Chain A
């Protein structure tokens, strides 16, 4: 199984090292031709406007959507990655994004950096809370019928799944708790098996 980490900008080093720690082969992805071999792709935290712009300029967006539509790719987006996965971005629909996940996100929903925070978060399917770090984080303000909410803060979804798409407002890669990444690798495994 091969996991790609989109390395256009942001904390791709942290995602790559967490995935490697879990024993999978990891490739950094910057060009469309690098998407073809992947079973899973992580879209990192960073600035969604920067990543989106580069993704379109170099054609990485088409390569990702094509492979996903072919049923060959699971995708996990954190923070900026969640924004890029979303179908709709409140007040910022014009910024480049993939539109795969049937939600509406609101950018910087908690406010500016002074509202960035960390807290223990109850997550569906996990026995104990996960320590979650939110940095100028988005939240989800609309979920489509096929979207399952796995965690919320003040009734607003911050961790969701839609089939092989996973998205979190927070950054598990900044800590040492690997449970979100493990869950994602199981989704990628399904794409990998399908290939055979």
Chain B
């Protein structure tokens, strides 16, 4: 008897994304460009982070009609974002048969205390994290994939670098811990000690971990792979640039050939203007999306 919606098939889809690029799209045309460029999945949303940042207001899940059109237009898996804690936005997407839900701090949180109990869903969720504790808490809630946060919509990779280094550094620390130290560490992180033991054995998170937020160039993608990411999300970096298709293709190649400077050189040269961006250090704490949950 075939079983659906199991942890294995949820985490399994994330495994298939590894070494790939997931691209934010807001229209059917963009979704087709992303597929043509070699994206492993597209993230359907109403506004890309750079525009959410510029226009302000409450950012909600995209119109399900738009998401449906994008699902019909491409053969690759489709993801969509819901507000943190917004169970009903997630139920709508599950009903539609979306392939992955991103419970995302890029949208305005619907619940300032609780995240969605993701074990109750048949389809997988990805959540953001800035450190190991946050990642393991999301996994405890049922996340099948982690997206190490950067600062979305800035085109500045520095925050993604800081957070990926933090996660990997904590993993390495856990690997060298004795059992008694591990118990105390679990308490301090607010996570299950079993989960922490799993991290110690694996030497990585128990689910796939992508980098996200501020990635704008092929070299940015390669950098995140070098720091230990399993793949990358690119939001504003592609469709806010002046010539999206070649840039998208170059970022796809750079994510595969991140160790190969010759390929990185070839795909990086001659790309037209990237997104203009914002220096993440100039943002005040209130403007940062990554601190909206923890």
* CB <8 Å contact, A47 and B40: yes
Query: Which chain B residues lie closer than 8 Å to A164 at the CB level?
Result: none
B205 nearest CB across to chain A (Å): 13
Judging by beta carbons under 8 Å apart, are B16 and A10 in contact? Answer: yes
**Which A residue sits closest to B6, measured CB to CB?**
A118
Contact status A54-B38, CB under 8 Å: yes
The answer, among B2, B15, B94, for a CB contact under 8 Å with A45, is B15
Q: Are A136 and B252 in contact (CB under 8 A)?
A: no
| Range for the number of chain A residues in contact with chain B | 35 or more
How many chain B residues have a CB neighbour from A under 8 Å? Answer: 40
Q: Give the Cβ gap from B103 to chain A, nearest Cβ, in Å.
A: 16
Contact between chains at B256 and A114 (CB < 8 Å): no
Q: Hey, which chain B residues are within 8 Å of A47, CB to CB?
A: 16-17, 20, 39-41, 76-77
Q: Does B122 contact A (CB under 8 A)?
A: yes
B18, A50: Cβ atoms closer than 8 Å: no
Q: Given the complex of chains A and B, what is the CA–CA distance between A58 and B260 in angstroms?
A: 13
Contact between B12 and A174 (Cβ–Cβ < 8 Å)? yes
| A54-68 CB contacts (< 8 Å) to partner B | 54, 57-58
In the complex, the answer to whether B19 meets A10 with C-beta atoms within 8 Å is yes
Cα–Cα, bound, A45→B18 (Å): 10
- Nearest-Cβ distance from residue B222 to partner chain A, whole angstroms: 13
On A, residues with C-beta under 8 Å from B are 7-14, 30-31, 45-47, 49-50, 53-54, 57-58, 79-80, 92, 107-108, 111-119, 133-136, 153, 171, 174
Show 13 A/B contacts (Cβ-Cβ < 8 Å), sorted by A.
Answer: A9-B19, A9-B40, A10-B19, A46-B16, A47-B40, A92-B75, A112-B71, A112-B77, A114-B123, A117-B6, A118-B8, A119-B3, A174-B15
Q: Which 5 A-B pairs have the closest CB atoms?
A: A113-B99, A117-B2, A119-B2, A116-B9, A9-B19
